[in-house]
Amino acid sequence: MNLDLDAETTQMCEVVTAFARHKLAAPPDFGTRDFRQRWRAAGAQGVLGTTVPDGFGGLGGGAVTAAAVMEALGYGCSDAGFAFSAAAHVFACLTPIAEFGTEEQKRRWLPPLAAGELVAAHAVTEPDAGSDALRLSTRAVREDGDWVLSGAKCFITNAPVADVFVVQAVTAPGGGYFGLTSFLVEAGAPGLSVGPRHAKVGLRGSPTADVHLDGVRVPPGHVLGSEGGGASVFAYAMRWERTCLPAVYLGVMRRVWEQTREYARERRQFGVPIGDFQAVAHRVVDMLARLEQARLMLFRAARRLDAGQADEVAPALAKLVVSEAAVALGLDAVQVRGALGILDGEAETLLRDALPARVFSGTSDIQRNNIARALGLGARH
């Protein structure tokens, strides 16, 4: 299995890394204006259109190319939250619009979303329905030819800055898998409101908030896919998100590992570099092993996705392994630095940013459940 990137993709990733280092550095505090400026710059660089067909302003890349670009973005961008927002925008919103959208929907939304002129958010999670996406309480009912949406969504990435929401709502209560429908809802629609931005332990550069829908009217032309096809849209988005979004962490992990290795070479105690001590050297080696194992798992899943092998196991394994590796690598990076590791810096930042990875897009425990179920193990629901 050859996981080497082709020359064109490698060159693209080098450009993205250099661009991210110079143009996407983390600001001292989050600001909407600054976020928008960097967002437009990322769009102009092609980062936000990796999976969008070239006829709609994108690069037309597959999962391997998209994952490689996100890895390069994470490696070069000191603001992992911004990189996370970009990946969520691409894989949870643009990719399903490109797959399920009508020609009119794709012409209207994909070019400005890929160019960074607009921001998208995927609104599925609810206070009482996170992992159990088939038990949503948000409802959509027909009224005078339109759909009227009412309900509440929580922890929605990009919500405070979003221009369009991909909203999952129940159109056939009790319909199970065929009871959900996906809608494209504009941020300015009457009845749609966004709560205050959440303060999070990590990924602080990614704005997150709750979304409320109070009788929001949506024309029939804003249904994404078919009525009753929302679960298929959601499952498609999650395959891409769980496979490719964690690639951001691969880039961040490699950057922090390289910094940790240099620190172990330069920091001296008892007259010698601390890297001369076996306990430190072995820890640095273990960090590299976790990184490489996670990378192999993720790009294997990406290649399977490109090959049309839409199984549950590979994306869930990729998401699980990368998430757990990021937390473990962050802990090791802090430990090698000692007291300096708990001060503001790359090690503690990675650890804070890694903790949400075990929760978003399905917790690590949910990923294990999904894998076990696909293997014919665990409880049947």
Average the pLDDT over 312-323 and give the result.
94
Q: Which residues are catalytic?
A: 241
Confidence class of residue 2 from pLDDT cuts 50, 70 and 90?
low
Per DSSP bridges, beta strands 192-194 and 272-273 are unpaired
Backbone phi, then psi, for 51, in 5-degree steps?
Answer: -100, 0
The pLDDT value recorded for residue 251 is 98
Beta bridge partners of residue 194, listed in sequence order: 211
The pLDDT value recorded for residue 210 is 98
Determine what percent of the chain is predicted with pLDDT higher than 90.
90
Q: What's the CA gap between 122 and 135, in Å, rounded?
A: 17
Model confidence over 162-204: pLDDT tens digits? 999 999 999 999 888 899 999 999 999 999 999 999 999 999 9
The pLDDT value recorded for residue 26 is 87
Q: What's the CA gap between 309 and 374, in Å, rounded?
A: 14
Residue 309 has pLDDT above 80, yes or no: yes
Give yes or no for a contact between 91 and 84, defined as CB atoms under 8 angstroms apart: no
Residue 222 has pLDDT above 90, yes or no: yes
The pLDDT value recorded for residue 16 is 97
Structure tokens at 352: 């804070």
Average the pLDDT over 105-123 and give the result.
98
The pLDDT value recorded for residue 47 is 97
Q: What's the CA gap between 62 and 51, in Å, rounded?
A: 6
Model confidence over 320-349: pLDDT tens digits? 999 999 999 999 999 999 999 999 899 999
The pLDDT value recorded for residue 130 is 73
Q: What's the CA gap between 290 and 261, in Å, rounded?
A: 14
Other beta carbons within 10 angstroms of residue 185's beta carbon come to: 25
The 8-class DSSP code of residue 126 comes to B
Q: Which domains does the chain have, with CATH numbers?
A: 7-119 (1.10.540.10), 122-231 (2.40.110.10), 246-374 (1.20.140.10)
Model confidence over 44-102: pLDDT tens digits? 999 999 999 999 999 999 999 999 999 999 999 999 999 999 999 999 999 999 999 99
* 165 SS3 class: strand
* 6 SS3 class: coil
Beta bridge partners of residue 149, listed in sequence order: 140, 216
The pLDDT value recorded for residue 177 is 84
